[in-house]
Amino acid sequence: MTTDAVTPVLAHVDAQMDAALERLFALLRLPSISTDPAYKADCDRTADWLVEELKSLGMDASKRPTPGHPMVVAHDGSEGGPHLLFYGHYDVQPVDPLNLWHRDPFDPVLEETANGTVIRARGASDDKGQLMTFVEACRAWKAVHGALPLKVSILFEGEEESGSPSLVPFLEENAEELKADIALICDTGLFESKVPAITTQLRGLLAEEITITGPSRDLHSGMYGGIAINPIRVLSRIIAALHDDQGRVTLDGFYDGVPELSDEIRSQWQGLAFDHEAFLGAVGLSKPAGEQDRTPLEMIWSRPTCDVNGIWGGYEGDGFKTVLPSKAHAKISFRLVGTQDPARIHDSFVRHVERLLPEDCTVEFPLGKGSEASQMSIDDPAFEQARLALSEEWGVPAAYIGCGGSIPIAGHFQKILGMDSMLIGFACDDDQIHSPNEKYDLASFRKGIRSWVRILDALSRR
């Protein structure tokens, strides 16, 4: 319900959209590419820009050094009552291949498209446009009422696009300062580009690489074919045995810790009327290939998976070479849900491989790195308050959804800071994040700001 306190703040947001866009464009002009050392100074300048912007709002803001790119931390609002921690990241992906961009990636512009006006620039959607929706919501609250309606802390990271190597140590060293009642993460999107959503389930990830060695060197298949073991054949058998005919993963204990959906979430997901035929048709496919007793949305959001991401060995050049290879390699990833344990699944995978390994072959496992899934409890009234606030702004019922990918920060907040996260973002499916010609809908920017205004009000009344 729109309260008397919210109405003038929303009006201020609309009246000041041009100024808000100017500030976003200034941020987008900074080439804060975290993966390339050549842009280290630009990342530092971007952190400085954010600190000054937050200070201009009266926040206690500072740039915090790390072994990599700096963090930006800010605090504002009164003591007592709910305390929110907002997270976003100011670093962006590289722009290559540059020749596929229609203009300079760091020269933002408003562009008219068939689907409306968009903000075109690297970082427009991931994640500068998203994080600025929250900053602008705070700005509007303070402009109208002189203060935020509750206590807010902000954490902006500069290494998300390069694996966040400094994040966990920083959270551990500053846990007492950063702990709050709940975290807000703005690095997600709308469901099918139109339905506002709160992501409550994130899959974890286990990455495996295996190398199988048979003969001591590559062999002539005419001389050794038939009598000598072929590592590619061995690897093919191992991979084929990872799934049964119904799409289930066959590793011992793989489904330990995999929860079933609650009736409430199952009903919401069914109400989304997900068109899996269109989803698959867009990439030239037609039939869901996962567990055959599960719905398509379950396959994407709430069920674990096993996929071969790469396989190679032997001769791969042009023409034909009758070689029997010495080695065969594969990269295999597992998306995890619930309380699945990456270490236990790694051990089960090792046993699976070794059980199918012939006597004359050896195997190496040079990777085996994993992270657990994150699942938020919607029993906290804050989730429903935020969902209702989103529904009111967007004019359609907001949904609790899952995410097939992994966003490790949510798990870090759970383990290190002891709090759940609400992942609320306004990106669209066609924003082309990480790709040339990235964009963010102007409507997402405006309604994103307005959404946070409503959420701040709703959560202040907990």
Residue 181 has pLDDT above 80, yes or no: yes
Residue 371 has pLDDT above 90, yes or no: no
pLDDT for 281-322, tens place per residue?
A: 989 999 999 999 999 999 999 999 999 999 999 999 999 999
pLDDT for 233-276, tens place per residue?
A: 999 999 999 999 999 999 999 999 999 999 999 999 999 999 99
Q: What is the mean pLDDT of residues 197-224?
A: 95
Give the CA diameter of the chain.
Answer: 86
Strand 421-423 and strand 399-403: the pairing is: unpaired
Backbone dihedral angles phi then psi of residue 270, each to the nearest 5 degrees: -65, -35
Q: What is the mean pLDDT of residues 62-66?
A: 98
Question: Which residues 6+ apart lie within 8 Å of 404 measured at CB?
Answer: 203, 300, 301, 335
HEC assignment per residue over 34-67: CCCHHHHHHHHHHHHHHHHHHHHCCCEEEEECCC
Residue 128 has pLDDT above 70, yes or no: yes
- How far is the C-alpha of 159 from the C-alpha of 37, rounded, in Å? 12
Residue 460 near residue 77, CB atoms below 8 Å: no
Q: Would you list the DSSP string of 102-171?
A: SS-TTS-EEEEETTEEEEESTTTTTTHHHHHHHHHHHHHHHHHHSS-SSEEEEEEES-GGGT-TTHHHHH
Mean of all residue pLDDT scores within the chain: 95
pTM equals 0.87
pLDDT of residue 269: 94
pLDDT for 152-171, tens place per residue?
A: 999 999 999 998 999 999 99
Tokens read off for 405: 């990918």
Tokens read off for 288: 């869901």
What domains are there in the chain, each with its CATH number?
Answer: 6-202+373-460 (3.40.630.10), 204-258+304-371 (3.30.70.360)
Residue 406's pLDDT band, with cuts at 50, 70 and 90, is: confident
Residue 169 near residue 157, CB atoms below 8 Å: no
Residue 38 has pLDDT above 80, yes or no: yes
Q: What is the mean pLDDT of residues 85-93?
A: 98
pLDDT of residue 1: 67
Which residue, 425, 436, 453, 449, is CA-closest to 191?
A: 425
Kindly state the helix (H) or strand (E) to which residue 375 belongs, with its residue range.
strand 374-375
Residue 405 near residue 202, CB atoms below 8 Å: yes
Residue 147's pLDDT band, with cuts at 50, 70 and 90, is: very high
- How far is the C-alpha of 425 from the C-alpha of 189, rounded, in Å? 4
Q: What is the mean pLDDT of residues 347-373?
A: 93
